[in-house]
Structure 1
Amino acid sequence: MNNFKSSGAFKGLSVLGVIAACGLGVGGLPREGQSRDDQYAHLPNTLTLAGVVRDFRERTVAGGHPDFERQPTRGFAHYAYQVMDELDQDGKPAFRNTGYKVTREWKDSQNRNITPPRDYIESRSGDQAGARETALGGSLTTAANLQKWYRDVPGVNMSLPLAVTLVRQPNSNVYTFNDQTDPLYATRGGFFPINGEGFGNSPGGPKNFHFTYELDTSFTYKEGTGQVFTFTGDDDVYVFIGGKCVIDLGGVHSAVSQTIQLDRLTHLVDGEVYPLKFFFAERHRTQSNCRIETNLELRNVELPSTTALYD
C-alpha cells in the first residue's frame, strides 16, 4: 500500500503551476503552432486548476463503497436527474434519486448533447428532444452513500490535491484538458491520476479505477460573447454554475459529451462573477475518460484542503 504524502505541493504542479492554481494566468511566448499575430495572445497559454481527488475501494472488497464497481439496475448507461438542481448547504451535489436511464440524448441545433430540461436553462430553436425511461434505474444507492463521494470520510476514502492544466488551442480562446493528449495521462491510457496510490490499484490490474475528483473555480459572465463549457467522459460528471446543475452526466457509462451555452442560463447577470464547480466520479472498469473544453477564463476560488491524507 502506497501512502499519500501530506506535503504542501500539488501533485503534478510546477512553480508556475502553483502560481496558476492561485488564480494567476501563466502566459509566455507563443507555443509551436501559435501564430505571433494571434488575436488572443494576451490570454495565458495555460490554465492550471487545483482540485481534490478521493480514492475509494470497490464494493466487492472489505471496506468498499457500494456505488463503486456497481452495475445499475437498468444496465450501464447515461442516467439523468440523480442529483438535485442546486448544491446542498456544503456546496456538494445532493441526492435526488437513483437516476433515469437516458434512451435518447437531448441535442442543440449543432447536434451537441445538452442537459435534460431544467427550468433555468432556456430552450433554443433547433433543439432536439431526448428521452428517458420513467422507472428509476438504480445507478447509485442512497443519499448517505452519495454524500461520501465528495467529502473526506476516514476509512471510506483518502484524498490529496490534484491539478489539471487546460491548454489554449492555437489562435483561439478555447482551453482544453484532454487525457488523450496530456503529457502525463497519454502515457497512462486515460484519466488515471492515482495509479498505485491511496488504497492501491483495483484488484487484478495495474490501474486505479475508483475515485472522485472535484474542482472549485470561478469566472466572469460576459453576456452575448458565446461562452461555453463542454465535457466528454465517464462515469458521472456534474457541473454547477451559479449553484445550479448545467451538465448532468450521471451513471456508469462509456464516454458521453454534454455542452452548456452560458447565454441559456436565466440566473446569470452580465459582468458578475460566478462559481463553476465540477464533480467527476470514476466508478467502473475499464476506461476513464476526461476532456474539458471551454472558452471561460477559469480561476481557482481557493486552494482546496484535504483532511484525509495518508501518514
Structure 2
Amino acid sequence: MNIRILGSAATAVALLASMPADAASISLSATVRDFSAAHPDFEDGISGLVPGLVSSTLNAEGNPDFIGAPGAGAISSAASFDQWYKDVPGTNTAYTINLTLNEIAPGSGIFSYANSAFFPIDGVATDTEGRPHNYHFTLELETSFTYQGGEVFNFTGDDDLWVYIDGQLCMDLGGVHGAVSGSCSLDSLGLTVGEDYAFKLFFAERHTTESNFRVDTTILLEDTSVPEPGMLGLLGLGLVGMGALRRRR
C-alpha cells in the first residue's frame, strides 16, 4: 500500500480509524520481565506440576501471593516470588509485547495462539547468558471481557500459568514442568451474563530447554494491543504535514 504524507493530524487519525479491523483476531498487550538464572526461583530446580502455590484471589497490587512452603514449586520464598510480576530495578527488566489470537475458522468463535518455541524477548533482551534463547522470564497480561455465558479458556504450556477471572483463580498450573494442559469454564464462576469482568494471566518460563505456550478460548477478550511502530510513524507524518501546511499558510 502506498502512503502519502497527510495534510493534517486529524486526517492521520481519521485514516487510522478507518482502517478495517481484523474481526478474526484479538491482539493483547503483555508485559514480559526478563530475569537472570542467578535469581533463586529460576533454573535451580524442576518441581513438576504443583497446584496450590498461589492465593485464590489477587492482592491489593493485583498480583497473586505465594502461599506455598519455602521451596515448593521450586520457589524460594514469598519475597522472591513477589518480584515476578512487578518492576524491580537490578532484578528484572520489563518489555511490552503483543500477542495475537486468531480465530481458528471464520465464525467459529474460538481464538487461538500457539507457539512451541515461545521466547518473546529473543532479539530484544540482548543478554541470553550464553544460551540460544532467553529462557528466564515472566509474562503478565491484563484485559477484560463481557460475559456471554458458556465461555471457556484452555491453556497448554510450561512452566507456571495462573489465570484469574474477576480476581478469582480459575486455572492453576504452577511449578517447573513440561507442557501440561488446563481448562477454565466461566460458567463455574458465578458471573452475570452481560456484565464486564477483569481477566489476568500470569506466566513464567523458568528453566531450559523448552517453552510452550498455547491458548484456545471462546472468551471475546478486549483488544489491548500497543500500536505498531509503523502506525505511530504514520500519525507522526500527519503531525509533520500539519506543521508544514501551517508554515505555508
Normalized against structure 2, the TM-score is what?
0.78
Q: 1:246 to 1:147 in 2, by over 3 A?
A: same
Q: 1:273 to 1:96 in 2, by over 3 A?
A: same
Question: 3-state SS of the aligned residue for 1:264?
Answer: helix
Query: 1:84-99 counterparts in 2 under 5 A?
Result: 84-98=55-69
| 1:69-103 deviations in Å (ceiling 9; x for gaps) | 0215xxx310011100000101011111148xxxx
Q: Does 1:296 align with 2:231?
A: no
Q: 1:283 to 1:25 in 2, by over 3 A?
A: farther
Larger radius of gyration: 2
Residue number in structure 2 paired with 1:276: 199
One-letter amino acid matched to 1:200: D
Query: 1:1-311 counterparts in 2 under 5 A?
Result: 26-27=21-22, 44-59=23-38, 65-72=39-46, 76-98=47-69, 137-171=72-106, 172-180=108-116, 190-198=117-125, 200-203=127-130, 205-223=131-149, 226-266=150-190, 268-300=191-223
Q: 1:142 to 1:300 in 2, by over 3 A?
A: farther
Question: 3-state SS of the aligned residue for 1:263?
Answer: helix
Counting helix residues as a fraction of each chain, which structure ranks higher?
2
User: 1:282 & 1:145 partners in 2: Cα distance?
Assistant: 15
Question: 3-state SS of the aligned residue for 1:80?
Answer: coil
Aligned length: 209
% of aligned pairs identical? 41
| 1:146-171 deviations in Å (ceiling 9; x for gaps) | 11001000000001111100000113
On the 8 A contact 2:122/2:133 being kept in 1, the answer is yes
User: 1:242 & 1:94 partners in 2: Cα distance?
Assistant: 16
| 1:196-238 deviations in Å (ceiling 9; x for gaps) | 44361133x2111000111101011123xx2100011000010
Question: 3-state SS of the aligned residue for 1:299?
Answer: coil
On the 8 A contact 1:216/1:300 being kept in 2, the answer is no
On the 8 A contact 2:73/2:176 being kept in 1, the answer is no
Q: CA RMSD in A?
A: 2.2
On the 8 A contact 1:57/1:199 being kept in 2, the answer is no
| CA drift at 1:26 | 2.6
Comparing 80-89 and 214-223, the one that deviates more: 214-223
Residue number in structure 1 paired with 2:239: none
| CA drift at 1:260 | 0.8
User: 1:260 & 1:269 partners in 2: Cα distance?
Assistant: 16
Question: 3-state SS of the aligned residue for 1:79?
Answer: coil
User: Stretches of 4+ moved more than 3 A in 1?
Assistant: 300-303
Residue number in structure 1 paired with 2:235: none
| CA drift at 1:300 | 4.5
Q: Which consecutive unaligned segments of at least 5 residues does structure 1 have?
A: 1-17, 28-43, 60-64, 100-135, 181-189, 304-311
Normalized against structure 1, the TM-score is what?
0.63
User: 2:33 & 2:110 partners in 1: Cα distance?
Assistant: 28
